DNA sequence: AACGTATTACGACCTATGTCTGAGTCAGCC
DNA sequence: GGCTGACTCAGACATAGGTCGTAATACGTT
């Protein structure tokens, strides 16, 4: 009987590209496309050789789909395909039983290498080079409440004088806090601090994905 | 002579998928792949029929690349390819002179339809119905090239001195440009300007699963 | 050629930002 | 009580940021 490979991704073009790569590793496999987590689960009702799973789909909450699938079909290796390049997401996926993690920025040879490894029963994860950059998130969460309030106002583009007025403290205190914030965030100007705060405020999903 | 079509996207697999679609619309064209904004600009040194441009690449932070390209090569139609589904981004791209906007979630037939329209000199944008307007966009696109360059550097958190060095101009000139930028963007500090630039240039495909 | 306008450029000048030193209060903790 | 950490503030200081006036260049108009 032919092997069934399920590709779950909500980007048709990307499914097509993945399909080509799959075909070169499993030449005789039947490729089943799914554009949502629901379709992927439906496709799993019949035995499958492998599941390529996108983390960003309309009806999916990130890694929770992976959890579900691993629970219900532990025999099916799951290859996570994600736009994320965050090492924290790699390791989260690994802990949840993914067989491989492929960033969408991967090239075709890399993709084939990963799929080949999975076919042979191995795991495959991106090479992060051991020591990852220090974590912005950890740094920002080390701020004290007063420092966080001030960072919020900095981000809004207020002057120190305005921040002092808003928080009913002196400008000297604002400056003192700001100096402490810069140290903790490892930046040297209020613009960098504000950009960092803004970036991390949008990047909530990375921090949130393991707790749901 | 053969037509040159440039595909700029940092995902090799997606470039391949786009290449297939392009080949079906421009059968005899030469497809040139670029994996960064820099490579795309280099490829534009020779006449090109069309540029397919991803908004999210390593060395680019969004729509600023589009601005630059439109400025330097107004004759080349630019098709924006983005993971974003935000109507606000569509209209931003339209205002900045993009010929088309294709969400990465588009199917192959839709993609072909858009490319065909561009080939015939038309525009093509996703069907959204209601109008979105953005004063900020109009303001930011009124910046001169020098001002835009400086805004980009401001956004990266550089000091005026560093910007001056990068652009080989004096710090006094940087300051003068910054003052002009503030007036045009209607802000009063570099932090506000940087936040505004970041907000409008956003194309955050990697971080949109948000909360459960 | 003469003109207006937009852009880029610069220096002088004042203000905002950020650092450093030092110090006071308050709360929790061993 | 002694210790620590968070929050508060002030004065002095150095530097970065921002405004203003001014000028050279470029480009299109008349």
Query: What CATH code would you report for A136-208?
Result: 1.10.10.10
Q: pLDDT by residue (tens digit) across B69-125? A: 887 888 888 999 887 777 777 777 887 888 899 888 888 888 888 888 999 888 888
According to CATH, what is the number of the domain B135-200?
1.10.10.10
A192 touches strand D (CB under 7 A): no
Q: Considering Cα of A23, then A29, then B11, then B25, what sign does the dihedral take?
A: positive
Residue with the larger pLDDT of the pair A173 and B20 = A173
Q: Which of B9, B17, B79, B102 to mutate to test the interface with A (most CBs of A within 10 A)?
A: B17
pLDDT at B207 over 50: no
> Which residue ranges make up each domain of chain B?
4-119, 135-200
The CB density around residue A101, as the number of other CB atoms within 10 Å, is 25
Residues of chain A contacting residue B10, judged by C-beta atoms under 8 Å apart: 105
**A147 vs B202, residue with greater confidence:** A147
CB-based contact B206 A14, cutoff 8 Å: no
Task: Decide: CB of A169 under 7 A of nucleic strand D.
Answer: yes
- Chain B closest CA to A192's CA: distance in Å? 5
Q: Which CATH number fits domain A4-119: 3.40.50.2300, 1.10.357.10, 3.50.50.60, 3.40.50.970?
A: 3.40.50.2300
pLDDT band at A208 (very low <50, low <70, confident <90, very high): very low
Torsion angles phi and psi, residue A6, rounded to 5: -105, 130
Cα(A35)–Cα(A29) distance, integer angstroms: 19
CB nearest B14 (choices: A14, A85, A206): A14
Pull the structure tokens for residue A25.
């590793």
Instruction: Please indicate whether, in this complex, the C-beta atoms of B21 and A14 are within 8 angstroms of each other.
Output: no
More confident call, A147 vs B139? A147
Cβ A55–B204 below 8 Å, yes or no?
A: no
How many C-beta atoms surround the C-beta of residue B1 within 10 A? 5
Exposed / middle / buried, residue B127 (Cβ in 10 Å: 0-12, 13-18, 19+): exposed
Average pLDDT over residues A81-97: 76
- Give the mutation candidate from B191, B201, B211 for the A interface (greatest A CB count, under 10 A): B191
Q: Please report where in the chains the tokens 């839709």 appear, as a residue.
A: B110
């Amino acid at each position: 009987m032919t092997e069934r490979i399920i590709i779950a991704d909500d980007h048709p073009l990307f499914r097509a590209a993945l399909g080509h790569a799959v075909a070169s590793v499993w030449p005789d496999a039947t490729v089943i496309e799914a554009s949502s987590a629901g379709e992927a689960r439906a496709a799993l009702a019949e035995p499958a050789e492998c599941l390529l799973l996108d983390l960003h789909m309309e009806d999916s909450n990130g890694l929770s789909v992976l959890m579900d699938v691993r629970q219900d079909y532990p025999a099916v290796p799951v290859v996570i395909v994600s736009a994320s390049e965050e090492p924290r997401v790699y390791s989260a996926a690994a802990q949840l039983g993914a067989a491989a993690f492929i960033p969408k920025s991967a090239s075709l040879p890399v993709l084939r290498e990963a799929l080949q490894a999975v076919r042979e029963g191995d795991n495959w994860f991106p090479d992060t080079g051991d020591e990852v950059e220090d974590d912005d998130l950890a740094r920002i969460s080390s701020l004290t409440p007063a420092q966080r309030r001030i960072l919020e106002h900095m981000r809004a583009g207020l002057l120190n004088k305005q921040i002092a007025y808003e928080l009913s403290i002196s400008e000297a205190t604002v400056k003192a806090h700001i100096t402490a914030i810069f140290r903790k965030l490892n930046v040297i100007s209020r613009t960098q601090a504000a950009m960092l705060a803004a970036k991390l405020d949008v990047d909530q999903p990375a921090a949130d994905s393991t707790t749901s």
